[in-house]
Amino acid sequence: TDSLSMISFLICSICLETFTKTVVILPWQHNLCRKCANDIFQASNPTRGGSVSSGGRLRCPSCRHEVVLDRHGFYRLQRNRLVENIIDMFKQESTRPAAPERTEKQAMCQENEEKEINIYCVTHSVPTCSMCKVFGAHQDCEVAPLKSMYQTQKTELTDEIAMMVGNNDRIQGIISQLKETGQTIEVTGPVWQHLSFCLCLSERKRDLNLKLAAEQEENWRTVETGIQTMDTSHLDKVELGYEVMDHYTVNSWREGRALRNIDFISEQHECILLLNDEKTQGKLNKLMVPNQRQ
């Protein structure tokens, strides 16, 4: 009865018996025998001919939630190996030959061999006898009845096993969620990469547009400055005193007087001078002699 009370949480909600391998865990942490789950699926999907190769739905008998099965069927569901190991452990304990009942002589104190063990030293976590508590090494220790400590530790062990099973269920749920997340990432990964690339291109386009706008603004300012410069008169920049040209004048009175006093030879006078010249007369005589001979 003690063993049955300890494994009461290992009962399948379909067959109402201890789980048989293989034990599968649903996404909401409920456990089922794979065989029982397959029987329920066949009963709820008679048109599929007892095959889960094409997928389907399975309704949990405990909470009535549905799980969608893909083409892999029940093999896609996670196995609860911790529950399977605990079941194996209890099966081994139940099939092991019963140990012979201990006699009072077998449960004797090591310090006082004639006294039976009837108390438990809480301080040192060892069983002992009342003689050790009164006169022995455990006089100042905290003690408790042996049977009550047995029940207490048994309850603690049962609670720890149940906690381990619960933790395992939560871990299996986290693993299932991580697998689903991984599958989602595999599907949406390329999409996110494309969106990230588009975002980078959009940011690059924005930066280039801002740079182009800044360059256009700078060029427009340069052109506007040039136009304003062309429209502005620069006469006010001429140095003062440009109308006073006295220091550039030249006094040519003397040169003019010298030119007026020059006596140029006229053409007639020049002809007379040439006729009076001896060389010129000799040349004329030579020219005139041949003419006279003719």
Calculate the alpha carbon distances from 161 to 166, 224, 286 in Å: 9, 87, 163
User: Could you give the percent of the chain with pLDDT greater than 70?
Assistant: 68
Separation of alpha carbons 170 and 127, rounded Å: 37
Please confirm whether the linkage preceding 128 is cis (ω < 30° from 0): no
Report which DSSP code applies to 102: P
The ranges assigned to domains in the chain are: 2-96+142-183
Q: Which residues contact 17 (CB under 8 A, 6 or more apart)?
A: 11
CA atoms within 13 A on the CB side of 108: 10
pLDDT by residue for the chain (294 residues), tens only, comes to 455 555 666 777 777 777 777 888 777 778 878 888 777 777 766 665 545 455 677 777 777 777 777 666 666 777 888 778 887 877 777 666 655 555 445 577 777 777 777 788 888 888 888 778 777 778 788 888 888 888 888 888 888 888 888 888 888 889 888 888 888 888 887 887 888 888 888 899 999 999 999 998 888 888 888 888 777 665 555 555 555 566 666 677 777 777 777 665 555 656 666 666 666 666 666 665 555 445
* pLDDT tens figures, 91-124: 777 666 655 555 445 577 777 777 777 788 888 8
Separation of alpha carbons 54 and 277, rounded Å: 146
Pull the structure tokens for residue 91: 């099966």
Biggest distance spanned by C-alpha atoms of the chain: 201
Q: Which residues pair with 145 in a beta bridge?
A: 119
Domain 2-96+142-183 has CATH 3.30.40.10: yes
Pull the structure tokens for residue 211: 């740079």
Separation of alpha carbons 256 and 261, rounded Å: 9
Report which DSSP code applies to 247: G
